[in-house]
């Protein structure tokens, strides 16, 4: 089942233009959380990142985020990833960008 990403997205940001990017199995990934609590819980496990949780409420902010990920060569995002879980729901950046543009 595909995750419901119609509401506000919560992402991790650092300095301007800096987003969480990880590499796993040869693929560049980032994260989107559907609640601030989930994003804060992830960040609590990774305080060394020095990042903050930011809300993306509008279509324009979501599109800008996805375009930035594209420039960082991120192929997909993990949705609501929780530390310690072995699997994550993954959505392709290009598919999300198409959905956001249609919304």
Residue 95 DSSP symbol? H
Residue 43, pLDDT score: 93
What the chain holds in terms of domains, given with CATH numbers, is 7-100 (3.40.1350.90)
Angstrom distance (rounded) from CA 68 to CA 36: 21
Check whether 1 has a pLDDT greater than 60: no
Check whether 4 has a pLDDT greater than 80: no
Report pLDDT digits (tens) over 10-41.
999 988 778 888 898 889 999 999 999 999 99
Report pLDDT digits (tens) over 77-102.
999 999 888 888 999 999 999 999 98
Radius of gyration of the chain (CA): 13
Burial class (CB in 10 A: 0-12, 13-18, 19+), 89: middle
pTM greater than 0.85: yes
Report pLDDT digits (tens) over 35-82.
999 999 999 998 888 899 999 999 999 999 999 999 999 999 999 999
């Amino acid at each position: 089942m595909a995750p419901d990403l119609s509401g506000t997205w919560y992402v991790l940001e650092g300095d301007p233009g800096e987003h969480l990017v990880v590499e796993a199995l040869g693929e560049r990934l980032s994260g989107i959380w559907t609640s601030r609590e989930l994003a804060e819980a992830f960040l609590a496990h990774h305080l060394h990142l020095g990042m903050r949780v930011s809300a993306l409420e509008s279509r324009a902010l979501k599109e800008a985020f996805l375009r930035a990920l594209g420039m960082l060569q991120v192929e997909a995002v993990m949705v609501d990833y929780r530390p310690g879980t072995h699997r994550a729901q993954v959505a392709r950046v290009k598919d999300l960008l198409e959905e956001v543009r249609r919304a």
